[in-house]
Amino acid sequence: MLARLATRQRNFLTRNLTQLAAQRAATPAQRSSALVVKQYNVHLMKQQQQQLRTALGATVCSRTFCSSNNKQGDDEDLLDAQDFIVNKDQKLPATVAVPEVWPHVPLLATNRNPVFPRFMKILEISNPQLIDLIRRKVKLNQPYVGIFLKKDSSNEAEIVQKLDEVYKVGTFAQIQELQDLGDKLRMVVVAHRRIQITGQILEELMPQEKTTTIHYPLFNIKMQIPADETAQTGSSSKPSTDAERRKMSRKARPGRLNKREVPAESTTTTGTQETIYDSNVKKTPLTPGDAKATSETPEATTNKESPVNEAETSPDPMPVLMVEVVNVKHDNFQQTEEVKALTQEVIKTIRDIVIMNPLYRESLQQMLHQNQRVVDNPVYLCDLGASLSAADPEELQKVMEEMDIPKRLHLALAILKKELELSKLQQKIGREVEEKVKQQHRKYILHEQLRAIKKELGIEKDDKDAIGEKYREKLKDKTVPENVMAVIDEELNKLNFLESHSSEFNVTRNYLDWLTSLPWGVTSEENLSLEQATEILNHDHYGMDDIKKRILEFIAVSQLKGTTQGKILCFHGPPGVGKTSIARSIARALNREYFRFSVGGMTDVAEIKGHRRTYVGAMPGKTIQCLKKTKTENPLVLIDEVDKIGRGYQGDPSSALLELLDPEQNSNFLDHYLDVPVDLSHVLFICTANVIHTIPEPLRDRMELIEMSGYVAEEKVAIARQYLIPQAMRDCGVEEKHITITDDALNTLIRSYCRESGVRNLQKQIEKVVRKVAFKIVQKEGDHFEVNTNNLTTFLGKHVFSSDRMYEQTPPGVVMGLAWTAMGGSALYIETATRNAVKSSKSESVGGTVHVTGNLGDVMKESAQIALTVARNYMRNVDAENNFLDITNVHLHVPEGATPKDGPSAGVTIVTALMSLATDKPVRQNIAMTGEVSLKGRVLPVGGIKEKTIAAKRSGVTCVILPEENRKDYDELPKFITDGLEVHFASTYDDVYKIAFGHSDQELKTQHQQQQ
């Protein structure tokens, strides 16, 4: 490339010198006509360049420069019009013609790496001021710059505002090649020597040259030339010769002033002001008055009459564009043994780096000149080592600034050693990565060869064929329906035509995975032995006779029919009574696979029915997932918390359960994902709920409801002995020899800490006791601990419940009622009191009112109004003269106002409380009642008899009044619940009044015996 460029420069120089000699020999008239032809040629040449630039998409002008001593005015205009100004001798390097002293240079600041002498670097600048300065310097045949390193490497600005932003020592460089890209310049510079900044030179701005458009009709050409060259005739004030025009053009250029043109005043007023005759710069002292006098407008610059020191002041500080520099020479040194040893070590280190990293070999070949011995020049060797390395800018700058050659060799050697260690580490990492890649590549090649060999021998088939064979193998032992098998065959055929990398291939493959994974025709062998099932159920759970009896009936029917069947059961009851755990025991008793999922809070129908296959990440519903996991068609599926199912914008899951839990429809259950009918008629569905009134009526109608009531104290004690205490001891690692819990402690624990219907809280309290015992054992406080009523509070703290009874002796106007809650039964008091009596002579015309409080619901509020009417009517029959309820405002309150209360079972209790308040007589002690009353005084049946009876017994009640129609419910209660209770059944309120007020204990006992 350099040879081609030199040849081009030599040819162009010969042509320019020939034209210059011809012009000097010609007459003025010939010169004038020659100038017109020259301008036309220049215009044609510019048009060709413009077309070439448009085709290439960028404006690129290339120049190669060197220094020149030509100061002739006639030659300067000719040289300015050329595209290339070249060396006179192409065989000599560019450094031969570089001047030894050049005090004023443009400042180029670099970020990362300094440019060391005798090395080249490509620089790009885009700052308009710096671009304009470089262009002017190049036009003046002064292609020299000073390259200095910035102190802050993060500073991306191309020009600096202060000299403190760059290091003082840099390099003097020559612009070897210049490419003008319009908005930026790209330069190839060659550094020659070290220089040091001594001061800043204030640079003047370049004026805009006035041009005039000239039209040549003969050639049909329009071109723009300087205004000074347009007037050839008709104006005596402008020059008529080409030489005069060139002289005037030179005089009009800013900053190019002759010494005789500077007024005497300028030298006296500016003090030490200095005019430079071969450049556009002025050096001024950095005084407060002259620091800003660096920016002139084009008009002021072109005015030759104005003094040199007149300049417009700029409000902003002038950036550093030109600097004054001096050459920096290193200290004299001698070729001592130390220098020779350092030189050899540097060369050896460079050789090692080049051997380890081939990239440095290419860089070294580009940096070294031909026929130059590096070994004989320690100065150049230091710069070579620093240029090869990628050290920190501060370390490289130290090499640049060090003038002592032995010390510079030490610095360069330290940098090269670091680079060598980095190259070793890089080579080590590269070796490890290459070894790993080689192993993986070798393994891949061997696998591919093995696959090809197996395919040739017929041992292994193609991937798609293998996938199809795998699916058919999975279906070999299954009884697949014909319609499902047709879908599977169709999908397998489609899979063979799909590309393995397409998205549809993965969708089809997942669909086939689900279809072939379902247990088509596969069922587990069911246990039909009643004795074995009874043993398993009794072993796992205490009580629950209704549920156990229903499961045994299910087994008996299956034994008679000889086939298994599906059923939908719903266990409802308070929390902690064992609804979920009994389902697992049922699955074990029937020898069925067990699967549980909860629908509490579920709002998406897709959880039941599945997603469409068009969606990303689509999956079947929970039921299909159950079949795939259990691998049988007859599992036991527990749908937990069915009373707490949600409803959202994705649909109503309770409606989707209608198809799933309908025995007439689930034999052809259609999932959205599978889109083929699936038989669920053999599945035993068990649902659990706390309350059933929140279950939608159509869904509740499809299920067989089995109530699971709470446990009484005796049942809780048995459950604790048989299940809870042994399980807690196993979980805590405590043995029987370490702890003993007495029956009195268990009764106190149940009565004072765990009054709820279930046993979940009882389990937590027992685990708490056992944990504390385990802690004492580890602390070696003893080997055996007995838990009794005396030390129970030390394990569990103070009692949570003291008593359900607010009154030891019930006063007038207060009656105990029985209520049912989700936690079981509870006893609550109905309190009545007088608000204010209505005093009027006409008391018959004034009616009393009842004011209710206690967070009562609408049903109980209506019951209170009905009870007031029933009490008034009944009072007229009992005591016609008693008009208390007619003229008195009554306040009715149910304690624990923070707890919402509602339900149709407090009618007889409210009527009795009003009658007790009106007659001012207390009801019988230790009595509780429940039942709704009609407007005519009929006692209506209620629910929750077992829970209410348990609550009454827990509260220490000995007499209970129940509706007559609930006699059948009471008769089904276990004997240990009814022991110690005196129960009366009432059909009208008159029966309730006689029991609560009118009869003695002996009469009531006789009546009770007669009823039995």
Number of CB atoms found within 10 A of residue 725's CB: 21
Please state the φ and ψ torsions of residue 831, each to the nearest 5 degrees: -110, 135
- Cβ burial of 654 (10 Å; 0-12, 13-18, 19+) is buried
Upper half-sphere CA count for residue 708 (Cβ side, 13 Å): 32
Say if residue 137 carries a ligand binding annotation.
no
Say if residue 96 carries a ligand binding annotation.
no
Q: How far apart are CA 47 and CA 70, in angstroms?
A: 30
User: Across the strands, what pairs with 828?
Assistant: 817
Q: Which of 752, 905, 916, 955 is catalytic?
A: 905
Q: How far apart are CA 40 and CA 35, in angstroms?
A: 9
Cα angle at 735 between 729 and 740, to 5 degrees?
A: 80
Q: How far apart are CA 444 and CA 378, in angstroms?
A: 53
Say if residue 487 carries a ligand binding annotation.
no
Q: How far apart are CA 154 and CA 148, in angstroms?
A: 15
Is-contact 736 688, C-beta < 8 A? no
Upper half-sphere CA count for residue 924 (Cβ side, 13 Å): 21
Question: What is the secondary structure of 838-873 as a DSSP string?
Answer: ---S-GGG----EEEESSB-HHHHHHHHHHHHHHHH
Is-contact 231 247, C-beta < 8 A? no
Report in angstroms the alpha-carbon separations of 267 from 103, 260, 297. Answer: 21, 12, 22
Say if residue 576 carries a ligand binding annotation.
yes
Say if residue 651 carries a ligand binding annotation.
no
- For residue 905, indicate whether it is catalytic: yes
**Residues making up the chain, counted from first to last:** 1012
Question: How far from each other are the two terminal CA atoms of the chain, in whole angstroms?
Answer: 127
User: Across the strands, what pairs with 893?
Assistant: 831, 853
- For residue 32, indicate whether it is catalytic: no
Amino acid identity, residue 9?
A: Q
Question: What is the secondary structure of 556-608 as a DSSP string?
Answer: HHHHHHSS---EEEEEE-STTSSHHHHHHHHHHHHT--EEEEE-BT---THHH
Say if residue 566 carries a ligand binding annotation.
no
Report in angstroms the alpha-carbon separations of 835 from 97, 846, 852, 888. Answer: 123, 15, 11, 8
Q: What is the CA radius of gyration of the chain?
A: 55
Q: How far apart are CA 419 and CA 353, in angstroms?
A: 8
The set of residues, in sequence order, having a beta carbon less than 8 Å from that of 518 and lying 6+ positions away, is 624, 627, 628, 678
Is-contact 281 201, C-beta < 8 A? yes
Say if residue 621 carries a ligand binding annotation.
no
Q: How far apart are CA 371 and CA 373, in angstroms?
A: 7
Question: What is the secondary structure of 916-932 as a DSSP string?
Answer: HHHHT----TTEEE--E
Identify which of 447, 486, 705, 683 has the alpha carbon closest to the alpha carbon of residue 587: 683
Residue with tokens 């001798």: 89
- Cβ burial of 637 (10 Å; 0-12, 13-18, 19+) is buried
Q: How far apart are CA 510 and CA 467, in angstroms?
A: 12
Q: How far apart are CA 431 and CA 570, in angstroms?
A: 69
Q: How far apart are CA 945 and CA 925, in angstroms?
A: 21
Q: Which of 137, 150, 398, 948 is catalytic?
A: 948
Q: How far apart are CA 781 and CA 771, in angstroms?
A: 14
Pairing, β 322-327 against β 185-203: antiparallel
Token readout for 398 is: 């130290």
Number of CB atoms found within 10 A of residue 773's CB: 25
Upper half-sphere CA count for residue 314 (Cβ side, 13 Å): 15
Say if residue 573 carries a ligand binding annotation.
yes
Binding-site residue set for ATP: 573-580
Binding-site residue set: 573-580
* Residues labelled catalytic: 905, 948
